[in-house]
Structure 1
Amino acid sequence: MGADLRKRGGGRKGKYAPMSQINVTPFVDVMLVLLIIFMVTAPLLSTGVKVDLPQTSAKPLSAEDKPLSVSLRGDGRVFLQDTEVQVETLVERLRAIGDVSKETRIFVRADENLSYGKVMGVMGMINGAGFNKVALVTQPTKGGKGK
């Protein structure tokens, strides 16, 4: 019997041998909580400016780098990413962004109820400032056909 105690506890009476197995249950619990948190917060991280985009059957563009987004709302307000800007200061705000080069892709999102002239005026300002990769963003039509 004394040999058995020495194997398990090293001869210490009333003490247990150290456990050499890893308890994975707390790790799994933490991972499940983090998964739930990320599932709840992920939809909230999308672009916050609501714009009714026109629908088209064009194929989506592939984006290699992160584009800038200029949004034109139906009430005439203009947003650069999620920040509201004045139309007159849009070009200088684009230039002020540090990592923007003339080759940066700029997506223009415009409400479908805006006049063609207003949308083309903003696109012309951006293009006139030397930004060559300016594209309009639309929504795909339901069913794949035009309106």
Structure 2
Amino acid sequence: MAFGSFDNGSGRSHTVSEINMVPLIDVMLVLLVIFIITAPLLSHSIKINIPQATAQPVEQEPKIVDLAVDAGGMLFWNEQPISMDQLKERFAAEAVLDPQPDLRIRADLNTRYEILAQIMSSARQAGLKRLGFITRPGADTQATQEAAGAAAPAAAGGATGTDQVQPQAKS
């Protein structure tokens, strides 16, 4: 470090433009000592005995209701044909069960939305709370859709017409 002199006789008085690093080093050393002292205290734990609970979890698998709708609007409750009036009665009967069943709606590609809206409205009015839709993942090409549509009924082993996917021609 350069220090200025008190000698005015030389005629060269200039300002010292260097930063004094001694105070910064002192602060860093103090912080280092503080961290060295406090670091072991942060990892200290207190050993306590906590009570042990021995409860078995209740495993209730909710019943699943599969409601299929074909392109013509025919309804199938777990693969059995059903009318809209019978459907409302079944919804009311299933809504009082504990736990409520999961209602899974599987609709044909060409099913009118009006039919689906009536089904969802009937389920909600009956008090069913768990409602979902079953869909097939989309395919990128027409060939893969046709292959999936042809393979699905064969894999299902005599599946109904609601399981078949009808590819649409794009215009």
TM-score (ref. length: structure 2): 0.41
TM-score (ref. length: structure 1): 0.47
Higher RCO structure, 1 or 2 (CA under 8 Å, sep 6+) = 1
Looking at CA atoms only, which structure, 1 or 2, has the larger radius of gyration? 2
